[in-house]
Structure 1
Amino acid sequence: MKLPFKWDEYSDQPAQLKEKTYKKEMRKRELFSLVKTIFTAIIILPLSIIAMPFVKRKQIDSSVFFSMGVDYQREPEFTLELLEELDTKSILLRLKLWELETLDELKNFLMKNKSRKIILKILQDREHIEDLELLRKDLRVIFKALDGLVDIYEIGSTINRAKWGFFSVDEYNRFYKTAYDLKETEFPDAKLIGSGVIDFEYHFTAHTLFNFFKYRYDGVASLLYVDRRGAPENTQMGFTLSDKIAWLSTMVWISPKSEHSLHITETNWPITGTAPYAPTSEYECVSEKLYADFMLRYYLLSFASQQVNSLSWHQLIAPGYGLVDNRDGIRKRSAFYTYKFMIQTLKHAQFLRLDIKRDYYILQCLVKNRLLQIHWTLKPTTLKNEEFFEVYSMNGELIKDEILEIASSPLYIYIKDAV
């Protein structure tokens, strides 16, 4: 990335931007945009909360809802083998605008994944944010080279963190509009999603969805991390993950700039003891067991919302936060098998309902005309294993115990002869 921006190869993100004088000057330059962000949020956020009860759920295609982030340069042959084992039908890749020399490598990887739905996240650098002609030129190269291989392009990422290059929403709006104008004039079949706000900072999201720039999204991308709150059911300012999704979906629904399509294109939990590969401090890190528990529950809650079109876990191979640790060979973490059984079980599921009572969760769906309940609780308890139950652990192991331990790790319970 153009100086003073540097890339951290350990955590796959920009390093902290330490030049305080530079940051202060840039934010001062973008003060008018920051003021617009505040005023837009003052109007849109309360309005969208009021509208939340009126947003209807959609029928989500479960076969492509479960998406996986992969690095096409990291253990590429192993990656292909792992994707086959997981049997995921949707993957997300990231392309750095400052490394276009890898475009042929990416194209070769995509050719080997033609059977999968592809989301390509195009990562920005400061040079392309400042030079929109350069951005248009390089996007033209990307769109032309990957025509027919990419289903959705995510334009830009993490726009509300200065270390990623943007200092205001208007800078992002100009960036996205450049891509949109190119699509309209030369690549009408390309589908573009955007916004790219990380975490629960919806004042930035509001400004990306309500402004006077002449562009549209084919859907909205969100990097909806909740790792700093611990469990996905925990609240932030009174909002659970399910509440955050409902609120975000409502903003997408009432925005004149977007199709009613929502994609969570990045989320995870950092894993304890993996520094410097963990993207956060050790304080936010969790054990591998909790990582698997939280991942599955995040997916289940998002699927139950029936408002998220795809959810891409970040990512398949990464020592600090991936399903696979590649520091010393290839080691599949427990979460790999949790993800594998989740897809195996739910890739053709029809959602029915989510019941929550006293921190006890039951998600119900139909799987091949069989009623499946998935149970977990924040307050450990027990449940009798009835004769009409067929119970599996979250990693797919058949459980025949007379008494079931219901706790942090969800259990899959088929109800025999229920349908």
Structure 2
Amino acid sequence: MKEPFFWDNYSDQPYQLKDKTYKKQMRKRELFSLIKTVFTALFILPFSILMVPFIKRKVIDSSTFFSMGVDYEREPEQTLELLDALGVQRVLLRFKLWEIGRVDALKKFIVACGNKKITLKIIQDREHIEDLELLKKDLRTLFSVLDGHVEMFEIGTTINRAKWGFFSVDEYNRFFQVAYDLKVAEFPHAKLIGSGAIDFEYHFTAHTLFNFFKYKYDALSALLYVDRRGAPENTQMGFNLSDKIALLSTMVWTSPKTPQELHITETNWPITGTAPYAPTSEHECVSEELYRDYMLRYHFLAFASQQVDSVSWHQLIAPGYGLIDNREGMRKRSAFEAYRFMMQNLMHAQFLRLDIKRDYYILQCLAEEQLLQIHWSLKPTTLKNEDFFEVFDTQGKRVNEPTLHIGSSPLYIKIKDAV
């Protein structure tokens, strides 16, 4: 990564571009693509909204729905132990193209992951966006070295933020076209996913799904953050998380460029008091308790949609937004045990239904031949603890009180003899 782009090792992302003249020049150069993005969205987004009620439902494999983001160079030995402790079967790794010389270290870590399914997020820089021959050369190296070890390659990321290198969708389209052509010519078994747009900015996604470039995705990827709106149930322009997933899935369904497969390859909430490690301002940050609750509820709602094939939580170890804070030792936040207990209950669960009434949510699943209900509410309320209930909190601790307090923190209720 070269000037004017700089990487922030605290928050694991590029710094904001400070060269405003450069940004203005680049956007002016890509003006035609930006116009195409606007006009594509003006047609595709209203059409997709109209088509939402007709979307085809899927059956999601819960065993591979849960995915954990990992930095393969951050506490690698402990990371492997922690992944086993969580029980995750799918892992997402990030790899910077400008560090192609570290591919052997990456492969070593992937091999150490054993039979876990690996998604590799390939992070671009400006050099590889401008020099497509360099891109082709380094992608060939990655595909060759990691052949048979990676299930999915996510080609590029965060394409709608200039600090990540792209200044238009067409720049990304040309970038992905190189990867696709290489796949067709030399690596037909490689699974390539894209386009990795971040946040609820589907006008960019629409342009990547509806264009005249001669490529196809093997699945769509999205960095569907909702942290700036607070709770996942909160709305943005009238859309809560479930609505956003439904709209995105409809766009996938109607696009000729991808099968109906959708992966959320990055999401989280930043944690208060962790600057400079938090990736956002303090305004968006939440307490560790809310971080835990929002993480669980995000996964529950995404799973209940039965439209998302996997959700990758970003990430395992990170002071500003991870399950573990490694600033002084390896401190597990309450979210770590909450994630483990969620996995324990839902990894082989069959979705039944999601009931919502007056901001009270009940996710119902069949888990180990037993009816499992997960309750939470946006407004604190109570529920009688019936004799046929087995109730557990987010940490897996048994709750025996006669009156259950239902609020932000979900409760797992196993119904005895209901099946």
TM-score between both structures, scaled by the size of structure 2: 1.00
SS at match of 1:265: strand
- Alpha-carbon RMSD across the aligned residues, in angstroms, is 0.4
Separation in 2 of the partners of 1:394 and 1:357?
Answer: 22
Task: Tell me the residue number matched to 2:295.
Answer: 295
Match in the other structure for 1:279:
279
- Is this contact kept in 2: 1:192–1:217, CA < 8 A? yes
Q: Deviations over 1:299-355 (max 9, x none)?
A: 000000000000000000000000000000100000000000000110000000000
In 2, the alpha carbon distance for the partners of 1:172 and 1:56 equals 29
Distance 1:101 1:381 in 2: 55
Structure 1 position 63 matched with structure 2 position 63 = yes
Structure 1 counterpart of 2:2: 2
Tell me what 2:325 maps to: 325
How far apart, CA to CA, are the structure 2 residues paired with 1:2 and 1:41? 33
Q: Secondary structure at 1:266's aligned position in 2?
A: strand
What amino acid does structure 1 have at the position aligned with 2:106? L
Alignment of 1:226-375 (within 5 A): 226-375=226-375
Structure-1 separation of matches of 2:2 and 2:152: 27
Which consecutive unaligned segments of at least 5 residues does structure 2 have?
Answer: none
The answer (yes or no) to whether the contact 1:152–1:191 under 8 Å persists in 2 is: yes
Aligned length: 419
Once the two structures are superposed, the pairs formed by residues 42-81 of structure 1 within 5 Å of their partners are: 42-81=42-81
Q: Return the alpha-carbon distance in structure 2 between the equivalents of residues 66 and 105 of structure 1.
A: 25
- CA displacement at 1:368 relative to structure 2: 1.0
1:412 partner SS: strand
> Partners of 2:211 and 2:56 in 1: how far apart?
25
In the aligned structure 1, how far is the partner of 2:102 from the partner of 2:412?
Answer: 42
How far apart, in 2, do the equivalents of 1:377 and 1:87 lie?
A: 28
Q: Assess if the C-alpha contact under 8 Å between 1:226 and 1:241 holds in 2.
A: yes
Cross-structure match for 1:15: 15
The equivalent residue for 1:224 is 224
2:252 & 2:169 partners in 1: Cα distance? 17
**Cα distance in structure 2, aligned partners of 1:224 and 1:322:** 17
CA distance in 2, matches of 1:100, 1:177: 20
Cα contact 1:114–1:149 (8 A) shared by 2 = no
Counterpart CA distance in 1 for 2:41 and 2:177 is: 21
Shift of 1:115: 1.1
Percentage identity across aligned positions?
74
Gaps of 5+ in 1: none
* 2:190 matches 1:186: no
The one-letter code sitting in structure 2 at the alignment partner of 1:375 is H
SS in 1 for 2:351: strand
Secondary structure of 1:22 counterpart:
helix
Question: 2 CA distance for matches of 1:195 and 1:208?
Answer: 7
4+ runs of 1 displaced by more than 6 Å?
A: none
Q: Deviations over 1:162-219 (max 9, x none)?
A: 0000000000000000000000000000000001100000000000000000000000
Instruction: State whether residues 169 and 204 of structure 1, in contact with CA within 8 Å, keep that contact through their aligned partners in structure 2.
Output: yes
Amino acid at match of 1:335: A
Q: Match of 2:126? A: 126
- Which range moves more in the overlay, 291-300 or 108-117? 108-117
Code of the aligned partner of 1:394 = T
Alpha-carbon distance in structure 2 between the residues aligned to 1:114 and 1:214:
35
Give how far 1:69 is off: 0.1
The offset of 1:227, in angstroms, is 0.2
- The 5-angstrom pairing of residues 130-141 of structure 1 reads 130-141=130-141
| Distance apart, 1:114 and its partner CA | 2.6
